[in-house]
Amino acid sequence: MICGCPPNFNWICKLFTNFCRHVETPRASGDDEDDDVEREKQRVLSGRATEDTIRIENLTKVYHTSRGPMTAVDRMCVGIPRGEVS
């Protein structure tokens, strides 16, 4: 195990170097998510995506640069049901 992530997610930790630091970045005021993004997030986090072939919960990717941390992905949640992608 690379970090505190479940063993079946180790490949994500290897792919995204700083994935498991669980960096919390403040959201800008007025930075509301689109309705469809919010619906998908709620679907995944509520447990309605447990049968999805691929499920990502609260993925954050932060690049550490000379100008400070740059958040590329902020708490992304997505589920892909079986048969949706071929």
Amino acid at 3: C
- The per-residue pLDDT for 34 is 87
What is the rounded average pLDDT of the residues 54-58?
95
Question: 79 lies in a domain?
Answer: yes
59 within domain boundaries: yes
Tokens 């072939």: give the residue: 53
Cα dist. 31→27, 34, 74, 79 in Å?
7, 10, 11, 22
The one-letter amino acid code at 86 reads: S
Model confidence at 63, in pLDDT bands (50, 70, 90)? Answer: very high
Residue 42: domain span: 33-86
Q: How much is the pLDDT for 10?
A: 56
pTM, whole model, 2 decimals?
0.58
24 lies in some domain:
no
- Within a domain: 20: no
